[in-house]
Amino acid sequence: MLLASNTQFCYILTLLVTINKEYEVPATATLSSKFQISIPKSVREEQHWQSGQQFVFIPKGKGILIMPVLSFEQLKGIAAGADPTNFRDRNDRF
């Protein structure tokens, strides 16, 4: 089985979009020679990300998950309503 090249994949994706107008093409970016990526404007606006904001990169298989780093103020109350009765202590370990 032959794998399609990036050019062939883009062509096939373009055909699918042309045939099916309801399909939404994901935002893409290119890695620069300085290993920088500009986050597309549509993604920044949807996520309400601002310049100067810090992010954490979490490896996921052959890709990464990019998450904003939250401040302690933003984390306040994150476990509100959690049930502490099932709390597991280290005393039950060998």
Q: Is the pTM of this model over 0.85?
A: no
Chain CA centroid to CA 79, Å: 23
At 53 the pLDDT is 92
pLDDT of 11: 52
CA gap 16, 55 in Å, rounded: 33
- The per-residue pLDDT for range 48-94, each reduced to its tens digit, is 999 999 999 999 988 889 989 988 888 888 888 887 777 776 666 66
- Every domain of the chain and the residues it spans: 40-76
Instruction: Give the separation between CA 6 and CA 15, rounded to whole angstroms.
Output: 14
Average pLDDT, the chain: 76
What is the maximal distance between C-alpha atoms in the chain?
Answer: 61
If pLDDT is split at 50, 70 and 90, which confidence band does 23 have?
Answer: low
What is the mean predicted confidence (pLDDT) over 8-20? 51
| Cα distance between residue 27 and residue 75, in whole Å | 29
